[in-house]
A and B are shown apart, each in its own frame.
Chain A
Amino acid sequence: MPITAGRSVCLGCGCLCDDIEVIVDEDGILDPRHACDPGRIWFSHEGQPTLEATIDGSTSTADAALDRAAEILVSAQAPLITGLCGLTIEAQRFAVALADTLGGVIDSSKSWDLARQQAFARVGIVTASLGEVKARADVVVFFGVDPMVTHPRHMERYSAVPEGRFLTRARTVIVARSNSKTPADVTHRVDPCSQLAVLATLRAILRNAWLDRARVETATGLSFEAIQGWASTMMTASYGACFFGSDLPAASIESLLLLVRELNERTRFVAIGLGQAGNLAGAESVLTWQAGYPSAIDFSSGVPHSLVGDTSVDARLARSEGDVLLILGQSDQHFGTNIPTLAIGFQATRRLGLAVGIEGARPGIEARGSVARVDGVMLPLRAIQESSYRTEESLLRDLLGRVVELQARRR
């Protein structure tokens, strides 16, 4: 099963563009052809010079640091593990195994992702892979998002520009956002606090419900004609796609998912997230197939449990219900905790005050593996450059091995 050589995946935003030709010059500088500006920054973001590993701030070898990390974790009563989104799927599989073995809590997500996960679990989703939008969608709605700013190549690659095999007419692009830089055929200035009302009104029009014109205009901030026109454009699409961000509250996401579902009584329509930088979709996928839930899993009873607001790492830290924190992969998040903290992964040893820090090779630049796009499509990452550090996957595999060994010895 050969893979023809050549293209790389950019993890700089949720597009996960996989057509990047990376040229490496003699000094090891990367030139990522086809990448957008944020993408160029992602590729150019070199790791700062750093140590292989640290124990209590002092230089160490990775092996000694792994031994120490295993001892700390096995001795802990309630270890917390976070930072899955920066890891490859291969590394995530070991991370979840580690949490299970330790009886700890593991988490991938920030609170706004929980809103999307909950809305999905309540109503499901009518969705598609991004190539379907490229091939078929004659109506594209960007709801509450500004892809030109956050996902610069989204329109070019998937949603607005490409010629589709099944497109019989020009695409109509609708942007629903109060301040947007995304070019559109129609822009509806929807204020964030009116989003739910707008979605409810669109659903009502779809059902031919009687609507009070004045109340609609007050609630939505849009003219009655504008919102009717919007609904009509969606209903007359031959294939529509509605993109949404991860910052919508659960009720709005649920309403959007129901709107799209109901549109399928008249035509074909799909809802797709815009996605986020890194490998959040992979983290949710691995957690789900190994432990049954997409985030915030507590293994302490021996069986995975997940309850939003209770089993997340943030909630446990806030309630001081953890005695060790393990941060995986590259993460800028600050946790503001006094419990012993371990960090393993790219740029990990730069974090201050670590009990153990182990540096890892950078996924997609220095380490191979795979990642999932927001539509679930999994893409391979290849190593473009060599690294003096070990991959996060191999570090976590070895850490898991040491933990299992220590547990057996102490049993």
Chain B
Amino acid sequence: MRTLHIRGGFVVDPANGLDGVVADVWIGDGSIIAPPGDPGFKADRTIDARGYVVMPAGVDMHCHIAGSKVNAARGLRPEQARESKGWSRSELTRSGTTSTVPTSFVTGYQYAGLGYGTAVDAAIAPLGARHAHHEFQDTPIIDKGFLALMGNNHQVMDAIREQNPGRLREYMSWLLNATGALGVKVVNPGGVETWKQGHGNLATLDQQVPGFDVTPRQIMTELAQAVDQLGLPHPMHLHGLNLGVPGNAAICEESMRAIDGHRTHMAHIQFHSYGGTPTDLDSFGSSVGPLVDYVNAHPNLTVDVGQILFGETTSMTADGPVGQFLQRVTKRKWVSNDIEMETGCGIVPIEYRDKNVVHAWQWAIGLEWYLRMDDPWRIAMSTDHPNGGSFLAYPQVIALLMDRGLRRDVLASLPEAVRTKTALVDLPREYSLAEIAIITRAAPARILGLKHKGHLGIGADGDVTLYAPDDDKTRMFSLPRYLIIRGDVVLDGGELRAIPAGRTMHLAFETDPDVVRSIEEQYHRSASIHFSHFGVDPEEIGPGITVPCDGQKEVQS
């Protein structure tokens, strides 16, 4: 057995109740093992971790790092790639560009540089699954997976209209299996299809989707229920209606009520927590209060934040109408891509400016969420990379959460309307190191249903990050001392030492051939490709981990 001994660090492993306890961590053949019974046992390698903080490697549960949308964004912004420093080729690493949408290899290297070991792309169109898996194979070091978009899928909406939940589950399990997906994503349910038909966006939960005679309320509740019944490891991952629209907090709360007790993950909730009215920008403000109260009181709900940072970035979403809205506001270049039977896509460059009242509100609203959630186990750190900003900004966000003085300093530079009205001023909370470990690893792993991630208990993946304690938290979390992936030292003092391939995490289901035949009949009606070319072959997926649903067993390949 290949062994690594991480000796004497301050272990912060909230899932196992360790909060800065001096302890040893042992890894054998890639997984955490119990300390050997023989006190004289010498590991193949020992890291003297005395003085260092030892945490599970980071887990990003909501980002956009692969597939046709991300790649279109790269192609759209050569000016950014040219201005960026770029990533140099070395004996170990491939070269690449380092814009707000880094190249695939650089994405893996940068996550590792940040002490992260896992990232989940939150929005892949099933028809784009093959592309996403290709890019995943060129995204090294991290384990990764994607959520398949289903909220505007024709067969999903047809099954819901026909009030046939059995058919819905059969279709979903077939689709998850055929695409090698890790979970179910719902984006603006029904709204994207309605917009694609030229009828504009949907603004309420009970409008009908033309041609399908279902409502957003039905789509989200039926899908949430089906996800629970299928026993998927991760709940339905919801990006609701009216993203970015002033006053959208009301429909956000209504959506959470509509879910009615089913597990649901509310994605980038910052973008859904606005007060005011669309016609009066002066009325724009925070409505975090009622939303966070609701989430605090309902344990079936989890959130990630989608924090924005000031600066240039590239917005990208499966919410086609949001792309069109942003393009109207920014007047900048715009990619929109309708994907047959499934979804839309919008990409628009955007700059968040601290002098802009709306942007300043967005910044404050994100932080308000972190600081007002009672239970850190139900909130995950995200910038919705690259929508709110790059994942490289996580250390900045951590610093803001751990230091109210820093928040006050930034607030002082923001427009008066925000400075005087935001609830941030009255939130003295400062995150502890353990709480940071929860929202950046333990909680996202638990919310994703990844039992081997986000903790250092026996059997967990041997993914460990060591940090040098530092009063400057941005520096501390920007420069991990070591990153260990499955027992191998990948990062040592800021230098990459090894580049493992990383694995693709996906679900697997058996599907009844009769069911597949009936799906095929429906498929041919509107598809432009032959049904036999839709599914992704196992050999098209890189080294994989099948994540089990309730009642299934885990398989590694």
Contacts and interface: CB of A to CB of B under 8 A. Distances in A.
B26 to A, nearest CB: 33
B103 interface: yes
Interface string B59-88: 000000010101110111111011001111
B75 A117 contact: yes
A100 B131 CA distance: 21
A380 interface: yes
B131 A378 contact: yes
B138 A239 contact: no
Interface string B287-298: 000000000000
A24 B78 CA distance: 46
A1 B180 contact: yes
A121 B336 CA distance: 13
Interface in A255-311: 261, 264, 267-268, 270, 284-286, 288-294, 299, 302-306
Contacts of A286: 134
Most buried by B among A89, A125, A129, A306: A129
- A: contact size bracket: 35 or more
Contacts of B474: none
Given A239-B197, A293-B81, A378-B134, A1 B537 contact: yes
A2 interface: yes
Given A306-B78, A372-B131, A3 B334 contact: no
A148 interface: no
Contact of B533 (A124, A267, A375, A380): A380
B505 interface: no
A197 interface: no
Contact of A129 (B74, B335, B339): B339
Interface stretch (B109-117, B275-283, B434-442, B520-528): B520-528
A290 B81 contact: no
A303 B526 contact: no
Contact of A19 (B78, B86, B135, B530): B530
A319 B180 CA distance: 47
A6 interface: yes
Given A93-B134, A131-B526, A302-B89, A291 B128 contact: no
Contacts of B138: 93, 289-290
Nearest to A16: B529
A289 B333 contact: no
Given A1-B535, A93-B138, A292-B78, A132 B338 contact: yes
B12 to A, nearest CB: 35
Interface in B131-157: 131, 134-135, 137-138, 154
A379 interface: yes
Nearest to B102: A292
Given A3-B532, A100-B95, A303-B87, A164 B131 contact: no
Contacts of A6: 532
A127 B89 contact: no
Contacts of B79: 121
A4 B531 contact: yes
B405 interface: no
Nearest to A4: B532
Contacts of A124: 76, 333-336, 347
Given A239-B198, A285-B71, A377-B528, A291 B130 contact: no
A377 B103 contact: no
A157 interface: yes
Contact of A268 (B135, B198, B530): B198
Given A124-B334, A130-B528, A261-B334, A289 B104 contact: yes
A292 B97 contact: yes
A166 B211 contact: yes
Interface in A110-148: 117, 120-136
Contacts, number: 209
B115 to A, nearest CB: 24
Given A93-B138, A289-B135, A129 B533 contact: no
Interface string A367-411: 000101001111110000000000000000000000000001001
B178 A1 contact: yes
Given A124-B76, A303-B86, A379-B533, A134 B528 contact: yes
A380 B526 contact: no
A209 B128 CA distance: 40
B324 interface: yes
B86 A268 contact: no
A121 B536 contact: no
B39 to A, nearest CB: 41
A288 to B, nearest CB: 5
Interface string B327-348: 1000001111111110000010
A97 B137 CA distance: 13
B415 to A, nearest CB: 30
A7 interface: yes
A154 to B, nearest CB: 11
B128 A376 contact: yes
Most buried by A among B95, B135, B177, B337: B95
A291 B103 contact: yes
A100 to B, nearest CB: 6
Contacts of B299: none
Contacts of A370: 130, 134, 540
A9 B530 CA distance: 10
Contact of B540 (A136, A304, A380): A380
B96 interface: yes
Interface string B166-189: 000000000001101000000000
A132 B327 CA distance: 22
Most buried by B among A131, A157, A166, A408: A131
B338 A129 contact: yes
B94 interface: yes
B387 interface: no
A126 B336 contact: yes
Interface in B510-557: 516, 520, 525-533, 535-538, 540-541
A132 B96 contact: no
Given A121-B77, A132-B338, A294-B75, A157 B97 contact: no
A103 B89 contact: yes
Nearest to B193: A166
B227 interface: no
A270 B338 contact: yes
A350 to B, nearest CB: 30
A89 B130 CA distance: 11
A303 B86 CA distance: 6
Contacts of B527: 131
B198 A267 contact: yes
Nearest to B74: A288
Nearest to B105: A290
A141 to B, nearest CB: 17
A157 B528 contact: yes
A5 interface: yes
A75 interface: no
A291 B177 contact: no
A379 B529 contact: yes
B81 A120 contact: no
A123 B333 contact: yes
A292 B81 contact: yes
Interface string A186-221: 000000000000000000000000000000000000
Nearest to A6: B532
B372 interface: no
Contacts of A289: 66, 70-71, 74, 103-104, 134-135, 138
A124 B74 CA distance: 11
Question: Which 10 A-B pairs rank lowest in CB-CB distance, beginning with the nearest?
Answer: A131-B340, A292-B97, A303-B86, A131-B528, A128-B338, A124-B333, A130-B528, A378-B130, A292-B81, A302-B88
6 contacts: A19-B530, A122-B333, A128-B340, A285-B71, A291-B95, A375-B528
Given A130-B340, A238-B198, 18 more contacts: A93-B138, A100-B94, A125-B336, A128-B338, A129-B337, A132-B196, A134-B526, A268-B197, A288-B74, A289-B134, A291-B95, A292-B78, A293-B78, A303-B95, A303-B96, A370-B540, A380-B537, A411-B91
